[in-house]
């Protein structure tokens, strides 16, 4: 009976220590997960931006062939339209990823 307070203190201390460690690890895991999502989101947005730039460049070159100024290397529409269609297909294929990730898509998972 004399050792009951000491034993109770050890049990309470152990439970408190476990709870604190669990909360710390959970927060660390969430922070790392959000960082991974941010990196992935940055990569996806960058790739999507490159696809858009390529499509825009082809459209500008076709426009230059039709007489619009400010583009150095014109591309005849007969050659450019198939390239523009291919670029549109690539943009469409990439287009769903930024919408899926959104501004907070990764951090709301799990």
DSSP the chain: -TTHHHHHHHHHHHHHHHHHHHHHHHHHHHHHHHHHHHHHHHHHHHHHHHHHHHHHHHHHHHHHHTT-SS-SS---HHHHHHHHHHHHHHHHHHHHHHHHHTTTTTTT--
pLDDT band at 108 (very low <50, low <70, confident <90, very high): very low
13-51 pLDDT, tens digit per residue, is 999 999 999 999 999 999 998 888 888 888 888 888 999
What is the rounded average pLDDT for all residues in the chain? 85
pLDDT at res. 105: 46
Q: Put residue 93 in one of left, alpha, beta given phi > 0 → left and psi -120 to 50 → alpha.
A: alpha
pLDDT higher at 62 or 109:
62
- Is it the case that residue 70 has pLDDT exceeding 90? no
> pTM to 2 decimals?
0.59
Tell me which of 106 and 38 has the higher pLDDT: 38
- Number of CB atoms found within 10 A of residue 73's CB: 9
Average confidence (pLDDT) over 52-76:
88
User: Measured in whole angstroms, how far is the alpha carbon of residue 36 from the centre of its chain?
Assistant: 9
Supply the pLDDT for residue 38. 84
Residue 109: the pLDDT is 44
């Amino acid at each position: 009976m004399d050792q009951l307070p000491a034993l109770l203190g050890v049990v309470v201390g152990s439970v408190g220590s476990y709870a604190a460690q669990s909360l710390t690890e959970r927060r660390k895991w969430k922070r790392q997960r959000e960082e991974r999502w941010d990196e992935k989101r940055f990569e996806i947005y960058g790739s999507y931006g490159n696809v858009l730039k390529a499509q825009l460049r082809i459209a500008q070159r076709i426009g230059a062939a039709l007489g619009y100024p400010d583009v150095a290397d014109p591309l005849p529409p007969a050659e450019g339209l198939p390239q523009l269609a291919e670029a549109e297909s690539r943009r469409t294929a990439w287009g769903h990823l930024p919408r899926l990730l959104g501004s907070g898509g990764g951090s709301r998972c799990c």
